[in-house]
């Protein structure tokens, strides 16, 4: 799954790396993530909030496809439609499946397969350092996201398994 999240930036974040997301009315950074079906992070890219999802997804999906050769299918929301679907199929040999909302849905609705990436964003927001963006450089912000996911994965590995009866 691929998705993005806009996060407010602190005052220490320079104006050269921040932007204004008009859709969510947030001045700060945008986190673009690709996760697997277990909700584990495959790739992350932090940009200014005014950067478009499709342009960043093209670069991020190239990075993820190079690192994970067995990747064949990526689910995305309606913000990733258009020429990106054809680009992924022709250049990266990835099928970009768009999970769309029906027009009669109102309010917040959980869509199939989309909840996995939203759960990752919830895990990130529980990390105190990621609730707001305090990093001056986007590479530092990406490193903090990887650090937070490392903590999540080690907790999952250390969790005691129930014994078979």
Q: Tokens for 137? A: 């450089």
Q: Radius of gyration over alpha carbons of the chain, in Å? A: 17
The whole-number pLDDT of residue 101 equals: 73
94-107: per-residue pLDDT in tens? Answer: 999 988 776 676 76
Give the position of tokens 């190239």.
62
- pTM: predicted TM-score of the whole model, two decimal places: 0.84
Name beta bridge partners: 95. 73
Beta strands in the chain (DSSP E): 2-8, 19-21, 26-35, 41-48, 73-76, 95-98
Q: Which residue has the higher pLDDT, 155 or 34?
A: 34
Assess whether pLDDT exceeds 70 at residue 109: no
Instruction: Compute the average pLDDT of residues 12-32.
Output: 86
The whole-number pLDDT of residue 42 equals: 94
Assess whether pLDDT exceeds 70 at residue 110: no
User: Is 92 within 8 Å of 62 (Cβ atoms)?
Assistant: yes
Q: Tokens for 56? A: 């960043």
Helix (H, G, I), strand (E, B) or coil at 74: strand
75-97: per-residue pLDDT in tens? Answer: 998 889 889 999 999 999 999 99
């Amino acid at each position: 799954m691929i998705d993005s999240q806009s996060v407010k930036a602190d005052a220490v974040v320079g104006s050269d790396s921040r932007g204004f997301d008009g859709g969510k009315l947030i001045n700060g950074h945008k986190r673009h993530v690709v996760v697997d079906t277990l909700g584990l992070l495959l790739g992350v890219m932090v940009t200014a909030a005014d950067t478009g999802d499709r342009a960043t997804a093209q670069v991020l999906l190239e990075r993820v496809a190079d690192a994970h050769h067995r990747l064949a299918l990526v689910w995305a929301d309606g913000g990733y439609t258009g020429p990106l679907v054809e680009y992924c199929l022709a250049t990266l040999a990835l099928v970009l499946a768009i999970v769309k909302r029906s027009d009669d849905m109102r309010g917040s609705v959980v869509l199939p397969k989309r909840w996995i990436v939203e759960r990752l964003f919830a895990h990130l927001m529980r990390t105190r350092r990621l609730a707001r963006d305090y990093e001056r450089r986007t590479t530092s912000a990406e490193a903090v996201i990887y650090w937070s996911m490392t903590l999540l994965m080690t907790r999952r590995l250390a969790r005691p398994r129930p014994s078979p009866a």
